[in-house]
Structures are given as C-alpha cells and as structure tokens.
Structure 1
Amino acid sequence: MALDLSKVGKRDDLKAQREPHWQRLRAGCYLGFRPSKVGGAGSWIARVYDEDTGKYRVKSLGDFGALAGNERFTAAKREAENLAELVEAGGEVRRKIETVADACRAYGETRPDAEGRFKRYVYSDALAKVKLDKLRRHHLRDWRKRVEDTPSLVSRSKAGETRTRDRAPATVNRDMAALRAALHTVLAPGRPNTEAAWQEALVAVSNASKRRTLYLDKTERRLLLQHIEREAEPFARALCLLPLRPGAMAMLAAGDYDKRTRELTIGKDKAGNDRRIIVPAEVGALFAEQAKAKLPVAPLFRRDNGKPWDRETWKHPIARAVAAANLPANATAYTLRHSTITDLVMAGLPLLTIAQISGTSAEMIERHYGHLARDAAVKALETLAL
C-alpha cells in the first residue's frame, strides 16, 4: 500500500531511520519524511528527477515546526512541487499564466507593438483580471465595445489641450489582433455559438483597412526637408530614404549600424524579431554620420536634448514643415514611409523584398501596393511592343 504522509497518526508510527520514508506526489516528484529519534517534529525532504542530468535533486525542507501537525504535510508538499517546477523549467521559475493579463505579458515579452497595445487597452481594464478558465465571449465583447468607444488621440498642444477623433475600424482590428494572438497561445477556441466561444467576440471588422492614398513625390519630399527644422532633418531624411516605420527608425541605436558592411539591425518594431538589411550607400552615409562619436547604445537619431524621437515629438516639426512647404495638410511621418514604399514598387523591386525591408508581410504589400506593381509591369510590357 502506498504511503500517505498527510496523516499525522501514520507519520507517528513510522520508524526512525536514515533513509526518509517517501511518498510519490507525481512522476519524478517525491516528498520524504524522516521521523526524529528524540521525539521532535521530524524533517521533510523533497526529491525531484532532473531530466537534463539524469539524476535526482534532493532538498531538505526543514521540520515546519511552527505549524500544527495537520498543516505540515500541505506546506511540505507545496515546497516539493515548487522545487519540481523549478527543475523542470531549467532552473528558472516558470511564470504561472492564470489571467488574461498573464497571457498578454507572456506574449508581449518579445513583441513590443503588442505590449504597447496591452498597456493602453488591457492591463488597466477589467478584462485583465479575468481568469482564463472563466473567460467567456461576453467578457471580450464588452472589452471590444470599450475599445471601440475610446477616441484616438490626434494631437496634444503645449497647453495640454488634446484633439481626438473616433477610433477607426482598422485600428480596432489591430488592437483585437494582438489580444487574439496572445489568447490563442494559451486557449483553444471555444465551441461555436456558445459563451465559451471567446474567439467570436474578436472577429475582425471586414474591409476596415483603407489604402493610404496620399503620396509625396521626390520633389515634394525634398521641399519638406528644406523647410524642416535642423534638429529633425536627419530623422525625416532617413524616413524619406528607407521605408521603416517611424517608431522603428526612432528606436535605432548607434550600434545597430555597421558602416563596414552597411548592415542595419532593426530591433524594436511592429514586425517583432530583429531583422537585418543592407542599406544603399546614401542611407549608409547618413547613418554613419549620425553614429559618429556616439556610444553603441545611444539613439542613432536623437533630439538636441539627447533623447530619441517619438510620435509626440516628431509630428510637430513635420507638421510645421508641411505647412511651410505648402504640402497637403494631412501629410505625416507615415506618409513618408508610404511614399518610399510606392517608389520601390514603381521601380519594379520584388514585393517580397519590399516587404522584408519595410518589416511587413508580402500579403499587406500586395493588398495596398499590388495595383501599382501591375501598372508598372504593364508599362514595361508596352516598351516591348513592336
């Protein structure tokens, strides 16, 4: 019969010996008890199998003498299971994922864009505390409604006044996509048309993505650079030369560019994992100049106060330059990215290559720019006409 150390009477009847009396808690995890020879509380021992070394790890847990006799087994069992979890995790304590917030934090560790959305719309929301095993469709439906009703910030003046607009369906889709991906890593989809079908509340809005239509040609982009303030000119010039997201460009460090090979490592980006690209000579010269005399961790493009650019600081000089150059008033930093991608497509560069450089999917490039690629191909064919 298997030994049951949870019974105080059973433990009192055990013979005092050097080898502990063992109870199997689960495969590879044992809890041992060694009775005292002098009538004390006895001592507890944990034994856990380590698959990496092929050996058992043994740890003395003490006597838990401060607890009542009927509470000692529970405390010792908890310590043994904690040791087993530590060993199985390779020496690192494995985070318990119990709530929606836990799932989001685990997912966002390597995905900065998703983590940013979680910080804005999940962690401070009532949804964050919902247990995953209790998550139902109505929890996410209510959360979605709250996100849809949250206005998007357009600008903030120096006096603290803010301008907002209604949240665009495409933005809501991106917010939902991050949460949906985080939950999919820990939850299986629920049975359709039931409250357990949590995934149904996060279905994307159809036809929400609108094609970016504002395009600044090279002459207009040069005009913008002529009118932009000296402090922001290198950052804006980089956006005109390389189709990175403004946020990814702003987070580049001096050490991310190797002038010997013209290789750029792009880290913090919506695309997630680091990627490396070789930049053209003109871009390389700009990056080398910006990296000169800077520590590797210093911002590659920094403001006069030494801090990196962000959306709250780059938009003002760009807006002022747009007005001074008499360009379309809705031109933004993202307009520069769109314009650069458009030029690459019209130049005939393969869409997959453009996707890799810009840090997006080939599907998105095809969706938004495929018509331009086809127009360019038709024009190329026309030159072959006899």
Structure 2
Amino acid sequence: MALDLSRVKDREKLKAQREPHWQRLRVGCFLGYRPSQRGNAGTWIARAYDEDVGKYQLKALGDYGALAGNERFAAAKKDAEALADLVESGGEVRAEIETVADACREYAKTRTEAEQRFKRYVYSDPIAKVKLEKLRRRHVKDWRTRLEALPALVSRNKGDQPIHRKRAPSSVNRDMAVLRAALSKVLSPGAPNSEAAWQEALKAVRNADGQRTLYLDRAERRKLLKAIHAEAAPFVHALCLLPLRPGAMAALTVGDFDKRTAELTIGKDKTGKPRRIQLPADATKLLAEQAKNKLPTAPLFMRANGKAWDKSSWKLPIKAAVIKAGLPAEASAYTLRHSTITDLVTAGLPLLTIAQISGTSAEMIERHYGHLTSGVAVKALGTLAL
C-alpha cells in the first residue's frame, strides 16, 4: 500500500530512521518525511528527478514548526512540487543551506558588515554547526549568553595592549540583529513559548541605546573641532556636517565624491545598497579639499600613514579632544551622527528624507526622534553648517 503522509496519526506511527519515508506525488516528484527521534516535529525533504544529469535533486524543507500538524503536509507538498517544476524547467537548485553557518554565509554574500560580525561571533561558535531543522530556543539562548559574556574592545594603550570593557546591551542588540535577520531568511518563527521558538532568544534589550541620547550642540561641536588633533580634524568635521555612520564615512573613496554635481555615493553601510545624496555647500567644500590630488581609489579621509580611518584609530583622538574640550566623557564618533540627525529633525526636514540621507529606516527615525518634530519649520540639509 502506498504511503500517505497527509495524516498526522499515520506520520506519528512511522519509525525514526536516517532514510526519509517517501511518498510519490507524481512522476519524478517525491515528498519525504523523517520523524524526530526526540519526539519533536519531524522534518520534510523534497526529491525531484533531473533528466539532464540523470539523478535526483534533493532539498531539505525544514519542519514547518510554525504550522499546525494538519497543515504541514500541504505546505511541504506545495514546496516539493515547486522544486520539481524548477528542476523540470531546467532551473538551478540553490546550494543546500543546512546549518546556522550556511544561513549566515548566504545572508552575508552582499552584506560586508554582517559577514564581519559572523566571523567574530558565529562561525567559531558551537551554534554554527547546528542544523537548521534542529535549531531550538536553547541553542540560541546559549549563544546569546556566550555573546553577552564576551568583553568588548575599547581601544589599545601606548604599549598596544588591548583595553576591554563589559559588552554594552546596545552592542549585544547589534550583534543579535544580524543573526536574527539571517535566520529569518530561511526559518519561520517557531510557535511562541515553545522550544521551537528560536526567535524568542534573540529579542532585543529594550532601551539599550542610552548613548544616543547624548546630544552635542553646535557650540560644543565647535569646541571639539578646536581640540581635535589636526590629522583627525577633517574626518571629525565631516561627521559634524553629515549624518553618516562613522564606518561609512571612513570607507568613502575619492571616486565616491562628484564635485561637479556636489553629490556623494555612500557604498559601505548597514543597508547593503549604495545610495547617493546631495551635499550642502560646507560639506562640498570640505570633501573637495580632501579629494584634491588623490587617485579615485584613495580614501577620501586619509590618515598620515596613507590608510583610511577605522574604529581603532579614530577613538583615541576623539577621546582626547573630548577631555580637552571639557565635553561629556561618553561623547564618541557616533554621538556626532546622533547630533546631526537631531539637528535635521528639529529643523523640520521630513523624516523619510532624513532616513534616506542617514541610511536608516523612517521607522527608526520616528522611534528615536519623533518627539522632536512638533512645531518646526522645514529647512534644507545646510542647517548642519557649524
């Protein structure tokens, strides 16, 4: 008698084994089911015959844990038939994504920053080898515990010895966000309050971004620029004029700046996609000075050694200038981004426009700065001039 996987009771009677139990859906198309040895939801596999190569193509479909038991067969059947249609039409079956590390690598193909975080916190961690079909809340919770215990590098002392501090909740949120995004691409959320609810262990720490509440007004930013070392002055000045992330500013090359049209292309940022913005006069003048006599591939903001700025190199001069200028000790490069965004919001620039310029979502701007928007007049980006 032909196997029928559509009945939940019949599936529960199947023996747990390595080889899936197969049901033929049509010629050259099969749906397989592998019961769990631990009593959890079993996993589904699709198999379709490829006449061009003379063999079957396999694809793991997961456990469909977010669906009720009587709905899983229909969803798996639909995906198996879609695979068969793809194979029969000569389409290419995507590389197998079996583990957490596979999901992260797939997500990071077009996201450089995500790949850097995965290299630091995922690929060398036990969670990397966990099969997606077996990923449970406890796996992710344990990973989060290990992440929170990792010290964060603040800077290095004169002897080049690393200086660490306890990882801030905001840092944990940023590191978790990329893993959550990568897993969401290939996994459905598990049933709430169950072991299948992997996503629950990645909930962000609320009100973690306390450092973004620090605002430096124009007078304070002028003090900072007067106190900053000459080498870092152009880079810090640019952060005072444009609401870019420090990393995105540091990654700019001369070729990203078009002096003729006063436009700037931001390529490396969290969005993963280049964006082009119109520059105000003060920023145009500053960038034109920095681009003078440099090759298109050279860093727009160059250190004395010819290299671009990075987090480890801009921290020390900014920290020294903060102390010298008598500014709040927690002020940082990111404080300047927050301050410029605050100025744009209070000047009345539309939130969507601010989001596009700063490389974030209108939702995030509304969440963090929406309380500043009442009763202000609309002005241009030039309001950021110091």
Q: Could you say which TM-score interval applies, normalised by the shorter chain?
A: 0.7 to 0.9
Could you tell me how far apart the structure 2 residues matched to 1:340 and 1:122 are?
34
| Shift in Å, 1:94 | 4.5
Contact 2:137–2:195, Cα closer than 8 Å, also in 1? yes
- How do 1:1-386 and structure 2 match up within 5 A? 29-30=50-51, 88-89=91-92, 94-210=94-210, 212-374=212-374, 376=376
Tell me the amino acid that sits aligned with residue 51 of structure 2: Y
- Contact map agreement 2:211 2:335 (CA 8 A) in 1: no
**Structure 2 counterpart SS, 1:236:** helix
Deviations for 1:284-304, whole angstroms, at most 9, x for unmatched residues?
121122122222221111111
Q: Is the 8 A contact 1:254 1:297 kept in 2?
A: yes
Of residues 107-116 and 257-266 in structure 1, the stretch that sits farther from structure 2 once superposed is 107-116
**Distance change >3 Å, CA 207–CA 340, structure 1 → 2:** closer
- Distance in 2 separating the partners of 1:196 and 1:323: 49
Match of 1:336, SS state, is helix
Closer/same/farther in 2, CA of residues 189 and 293 from structure 1, 3 Å limit: same
Give the deviation of 1:327 after TM superposition: 2.2
CA drift of 1:147 comes to 0.9
Q: Provide the C-alpha distance between the structure 1 equivalents of 2:203 and 2:323, rounded to a whole number of angstroms.
A: 40
Per the TM alignment, residue 161 of structure 1 is displaced from its structure 2 partner at its CA by: 3.3
CA 1:140/1:27 → structure 2, altered by over 3 Å: closer, same or farther?
Answer: closer
- Per-residue deviation, residues 291-329 of structure 1 (Å, max 9, x unmatched): 222222211111111111000001111112222222222
**3-state DSSP of counterpart to 1:230:** coil
1: distance between equivalents of 2:130 and 2:265?
Answer: 38
Q: CA deviation at 1:24?
A: 6.9
Distance between the aligned counterparts of 1:219 and 1:321, measured in 2? Answer: 14
Asked if 2 retains the 8 angstrom alpha-carbon contact of 1:24 and 1:30, the reply is no
Structure 1 distance, partners of 2:223, 2:95, is 53
Indicate how the Cα distance of structure 1 residues 290 and 95 shifts in structure 2: closer, same or farther if over 3 A, else same.
Answer: farther
SS of residue matched to 2:141 = helix
Find the residue that maps to 1:374 and give its secondary structure. Answer: coil
One-letter amino acid of the structure 1 residue matched with residue 304 of structure 2: D
Residues 134, 301 of structure 1: alpha-carbon distance in 2 compared, 3 angstrom cutoff = same
Identity %: 67
The 8 Å contact of residues 262 and 279 in structure 1, kept in 2 or not, is answered as: yes
In structure 1, runs of 5+ residues without a counterpart are 1-22, 32-44, 49-83, 378-386
Q: For residues 3-26 of structure 1, give each alpha carbon's deviation from its aligned partner in whole angstroms, at most 9, with x where no partner exists.
A: xxxxxxxxxxxxxxxxxxxx9797
Pair 1:284–1:189, CA change in 2 (3 A): same
SS of aligned partner of 1:109: helix
Counterpart of 1:213 in structure 2: which amino acid? T
Q: Is the 8 A contact 2:341 2:354 kept in 1?
A: yes
> What is the distance in 1 between the residues matched to 2:276 and 2:342?
21
Separation (CA, whole Å) in 1 of partners of 2:224 and 2:148: 35
5+ residue gaps, structure 2: 1-26, 30-46, 57-86, 378-386
Query: Larger deviation: 323-332 or 228-237?
Result: 323-332
Amino acid at match of 2:276: R
1:375 deviates by 6.0
Deviation at 1:211, TM superposition (A): 6.3
Q: Is the 8 A contact 2:241 2:283 kept in 1?
A: yes
Deviation at 1:133, TM superposition (A): 1.9
Separation in 1 of the partners of 2:293 and 2:49? 56
**Native 8 Å contact 2:264 2:276 kept in 1:** yes
Greater CA drift, 231-240 or 287-296: 287-296
Whether the aligned pair in 2 keeps the contact of 1:147 and 1:172 (CA below 8 Å) is yes
Residues 211 and 368 of structure 1 are in contact (CA less than 8 Å); yes or no, is this contact kept in structure 2?
no
C-alpha distance in 1, partners of 2:139/2:55? 42
Residue 269 of structure 1 deviates from its aligned partner by 0.7
Deviation at 1:27, TM superposition (A): 6.0
Tell me what 2:68 maps to: none
RMSD: 2.7
- In 2: Cα distance, 1:259 partner to 1:331 partner: 32
Larger Rg: 1
